[in-house]
Structures are given as structure tokens and as C-alpha cells.
Amino acid sequence: MFGEDSVQFDMTLLPIILAHNPAGTSVKTLLHFAQEITAKNFQQYDYGPEENIKIYNCSHPPKYNLSNIIAPVAFYYAKNDILADPNDVMELYTQLPHRLGLFLIGFEKFNHVDFLYSRNVSDMVYQSVMNTISKADLTEWIPVYDNAITFKDLSNYTLCNDTELRERTMRKNDSFWSKLTSYIKKKEVYPLTNVNENNEENKSRNMFPMSWNKPYNLR
């Protein structure tokens, strides 16, 4: 399932692993994962065009804006990891603004679960991770970010420019009630000026235009 690696996997751990894995998850999580594979995008959950418009104001789900992740991030990856293909790893890496570097595990057969169960995972991965964390814990630590690889700012991907939403908005704005409301709001109404202030009827007539723009004190 995750990339075969009989060399690093300790078979004596298998009974313990199977006693705890696979762990429970929601059906929606699995569907979301499948949607992202099909769409080839790291995006929010797709509820279908109608529901998406209600939730996201767009017929399709927006992509996650990874430029909002401000924490420094280091990547550790392996060539034999089926669930985190090196091409996908690189694509994700370019979308993060504060990158500390890419670290490829120096073993061709290292797979997805080897990060947990490999015989030599401590020497191959954990020690390097701990060194990186130890540096970050120092008060005087100043991160040196990786600028050798071009950063892809995807913040504009959260905007929706689809035709379906524009057509839906146009239909809504073309309705009778939309036109009537628009007409009333645009209609300029001024208070009457040539009136006798002592006339109670004229006072009440002046009351409504004024209340259109601001609360009117009836007292």
C-alpha cells in the first residue's frame, strides 16, 4: 500500500501494528482525499456546484491558500513513498513561503510507513529532525530560508471567477424584486422645503424622507 520495503520493516512489529492500525476516520475525510486525487488540487471539500455556491460563493471548491502558513517548515521525503510522491512533495514545497529545505532520505526503498517503523529510522530521519528543532529552539536562532526554488504564491486561487456564478448573479439581479429594490434605493428623495412647520400634516410628510437616510426622532 505504501511502497514495498522488506529490508527496513521489522516483521516482529506486525502484530502490534495491526492491533492499532488502520485507525478510525470519517467517510467525509476519505471522500475529501479521493476528491483531491481526482481533481489534482489541494482544495476544500467539494459539495457539488449548488452547495458550493452557498458555502464558498463559487461553483467549485477553492484551493487552500498555503501562503498563509507562516511557520518555518522543513521537508523530509522518500522516493519510494507512494502516498507522498516526490513530484507532489516538490509542488507543495514551492507553495510555502518560509522553507528551511528539502531533505531526501538516503535509501531508495524508504517508504511512507518507514518514517514510523523502519529499523534505522532514528539514524536516517529522527536525528536530523531533532537537530533542526534544537536550532529553532535557540532564542538567537535566525532561520535561513530556501530561496533557490521559486515560490508560487497561490493566494489569488481563493478567488472565484467562474461563469456559473456570474450567470447566477445576473439572473438574481434581473429579477423583478431586485429591479424594484434597486430603483427605490437609487431614487433621490428630498425633504419638502416650502412648508409651514406648524402644519402637523407637513411635519409627517417630511418625516419619511429623512428617515430613509438616518434614524428619525419622533419626539
Give whole-number Cα distances, 126 to 24, 106, 119, 121, in Å: 27, 13, 12, 6
Among 149, 168, 25, which residue's Cα sits nearest to residue 90?
A: 149
Q: Which of the four pLDDT bands, split at 50, 70 and 90, describes residue 53?
A: very high
Among 41, 38, 17, which residue's Cα sits nearest to residue 154?
A: 41
**Paired residues of 101 in beta bridges:** 74
Give whole-number Cα distances, 172 to 52, 99, 104, 117, 179, in Å: 17, 45, 53, 57, 10
Give whole-number Cα distances, 201 to 112, 205, 213, in Å: 82, 6, 21
Give whole-number Cα distances, 91 to 35, 84, 153, 159, in Å: 18, 11, 12, 20
Residue 21 pLDDT more than 70?
yes
Q: Which of the four pLDDT bands, split at 50, 70 and 90, describes residue 48?
A: very high
Structural domains in the chain, sorted by start: 11-158 (3.40.50.1820), 163-213 (no CATH)
Mean pLDDT of the chain: 80
134, 177 contact by CB (below 8 A): no
- Quote the crossing angle between the two packed helices 163-173 and 49-56, to the nearest 10°: 70
Residue 130 pLDDT more than 90?
yes
